[in-house]
Structure 1
Amino acid sequence: MMDLYGGAGWMMIGMAGFWLLVIGVLAWAIVWVFPRQPRVGEDPRQILDRRFASGEIDEATYRASVDVLNVPHRR
């Protein structure tokens, strides 16, 4: 007995899998090349607060960064 479409069924499934893989890799590459930008209008302290609140940075890093932000910079 012949299988699906005379054996071409597996080739069709393989092609579909290949294209899904290609699309997935392209989507990953786009996200990697163009990372998410900070929100417009956020100052550095707001960005730091948001990152700390979300758990992206720990308390030591947060406090060190706040200290750096509070030091007046010389030009």
Structure 2
Amino acid sequence: MKKKLQGAGISVPPGNRGELSGSGVVADFEWDGLSNLTITITEKPFIVSCDTVARKIKSFVKECHGS
């Protein structure tokens, strides 16, 4: 998933927690190394709704075979 994110121009730090950023969106993430991924949106462009960002994140995770 990290390689796919980086391929999409999103900065991803090494490890199981940190900050993602790209396209004006900044989010904190934490992964338990097994199956639980928590993403918290901390910044987004004013004109983009939280719902839109959440939908895009959920869609991306599903593309990577997550739920």
- TM-score over 0.5 for the pair: no
Report the structure, 1 or 2, having the larger helix content.
1
Structure showing the higher strand proportion among its residues: 2
TM-score between the two structures when normalised by the length of structure 2:
0.29
Give the number of the structure whose alpha-carbon radius of gyration is greater: 1
TM-score with structure 1 length normalisation?
0.27
